[in-house]
Amino acid sequence: MALFEKYMLMTRGFQNVVEDGKTVGFQIKIRITYYRGISLAVINGLEVTVDGKKYLPEQLRFSTGGHTFTLEEMGREEKVRWPFGEPATLTVLEPEGLKPGLHEVKLEEVIKPPYMPGRGFVAQFTRKMTLVA
């Protein structure tokens, strides 16, 4: 099934991250592949692959509503929510980030509410996006 898969990767916010004059990674804005907003702990998986390179969980950061979390911290976060249809920012810590140009970005999101069997709602989508800056 496709629960908003085609909408989950956004172009706005696809950019490198610069800290103290150094490029420390890149960011993507993503939306939820579920029909409601949820507390972060209900997310059971986030995986990013860019141009065939699959990133490790430790290399990812998730930001929403002004807070930033590691994937591990998200698993314990029962108060902060990812609202339905709202972009969250996924930061990938990749020294020197990505070169401007076309990149193939693949995202997997797993949402596990208590009534769904197995892994829950598993969504995967690949989008070719141009990094401008």
Partner 1 sequence: MAQQEKTGLKRGVTLYSYQEEFYTRAMTLEDCLAEVASMGADGVELLPEQMVPDYPNPSQSWVDQWFNWLDKYHLKPVCLDTFVDNTWGGHRVMSLDESVETLVMQMKMCNRLGFKMMRPTTGHDAAPEMMLKAIPYAEKYEVKIAFELHTPVTLGSKFIDNYLGLIEKTGTRHFGFTLDLGLFCTRVPRIVSDYHLRHGASEEVVRYAIEAFANRADAQTVDAEVKKMSTKEIDHMMAMFAYRYGPATNDPRDLPYIIPHIFNIHGKFYEMTEEMREYSVPYETILPILMEHGCAAYINSEYEGQRWTQNVYDTDSCEILRRHHLMLKQLLGEN
Q: Which residue, 81 or 103, has its beta carbon nearer to partner 1?
A: 81
5 touches partner 1 (CB under 8 A): yes
Of 76-105, which residues contact partner 1 (CB under 8 A)? Answer: 76, 78, 81, 83-85
71 binds partner 1 (CB under 8 A): no
> Distance between CA 20 and CA 11 in Å, rounded?
25
37 counts as binding partner 1 under rule CB under 8 A: yes
Beginning with the edge strand found earlier in the chain, give each strand of the sheet holding 9-19 in spatial order: 9-19, 22-30, 88-92, 60-64, 67-70
For the purposes of burial, counting CB atoms within 10 Å of the CB of 68, is it exposed (0-12), middle (13-18) or buried (19 or more)?
A: exposed
Q: What does the per-residue mask of binding to partner 1 show for 39-58, with x meaning CB under 8 A?
A: x-xxxx--------------
Q: Which of 17, 24, 47, 75 binds partner 1 (CB under 8 A)?
A: 75
By the criterion CB under 8 A, which residues form the site for partner 1? 1-7, 31, 35-39, 41-44, 75-76, 78, 81, 83-85, 111-115, 120
